[in-house]
Amino acid sequence: MPGGLDAVFGVHAVRALLARGEVPRVLWVQEGEAQQRLVELIDQARRGGARIEPHPREELDRLAQEASHQGIVAFAAPLAFESEAALWFKLEAWPHGAPPLLLVLDGVTDVHNFGACLRSADAAGVHGVIVPKDKSAPLNATVRKVACGAAEGVPVYQVTNLARALARLKEFGVWITGTAGEAEAMLFEAEFTGPTALVMGAEGKGMRRLTREACDGLVKLPMAGSVTSLNVSVATGICLFEAVRQRRGVGD
């Protein structure tokens, strides 16, 4: 594995990488049928300057471990967070159409949970993920692996002070909905059709006090069984797809 680079596994993740305008330094392609099946993707990477290397499936399997490589692995420069300034610029220039849907992760430090949240965010069409500079997982190779291409497709904005950033979001007309087990309102009672930021807290501790106080409203998931909470990535997926359900047809 080339040193100093992140491994990006699978067709979707490599395609997302190229769509961002980031050409991998090296592209490993599984010898045999995969070279014919992926010829278009390989040619696109080669035109961008990537070095193409055929390798036996065993090598790709050993590198990917439990990830699905689909016969292709790209080695690219590590991902970087988008700046807070870029977030405000994006909102100031927001186009007509669907209102913004943002995901805010407060204190999610586990890389596997972070990657899974990004994957759900990508699937739900989230326009951006916001994380604090402190108390947040890094955008490392493990996150990219778990996210299966979502880390390349969804912008992740890092802000210096999360409570202050949430206050600024309100100036753009974004409604801040936080999730908390002690909330009185249920998720399905919330309104997500307008400009929305959904805030998810860390497992166990939940949102920090200042984050909670910055929310316009709090909601909870109905829990019918013996467990009192869900994994943050599972809860994130449920909440985001309730927003998707409500937004169907909005802004079309």
CATH number of the domain bearing residue 10: 3.30.1330.30
Question: Of 114, 8, 18, 143, which Cα lies nearest the Cα of 68?
Answer: 8
Domain that includes residue 89, residue range:
84-247
Is 91 found in the same domain as 118?
A: yes
Residue 202 has pLDDT above 90, yes or no: no
Last residue of a domain, one of 76, 103, 124: 76
Supply 229's token pair: 């909470």
Q: CA 216, CA 168: separation in Å to the nearest integer?
A: 13
Q: What CATH number is attached to the domain comprising 236? A: 3.40.1280.10
pLDDT digits (tens, 9 = 90+) for 90-132: 999 998 778 999 999 999 999 999 999 999 999 999 999 999 9
Q: What is the mean pLDDT of the chain?
A: 91
pLDDT digits (tens, 9 = 90+) for 15-43: 888 988 888 999 999 998 888 889 999 99
Instruction: With H, G, I as helix, E, B as strand and everything else as coil, classify residue 180.
Output: coil
Amino acid 71: pLDDT: 92
Supply 142's token pair: 């493990």
| Residue 200 pLDDT level (bands cut at 50, 70, 90) | very high
- Structural domain tally of the chain? 2
**Does 145 reside within a domain?**
yes
**Residue-wise DSSP of 83-133:** PHHHHHHHHHTPPSSSPPEEEEEES---HHHHHHHHHHHHHTT-SEEEEES
Residue 186 bridge partners (DSSP): 220
201 annotated to a ligand binding site: yes
Is 91 found in the same domain as 67?
A: no
**Does 27 reside within a domain?**
yes
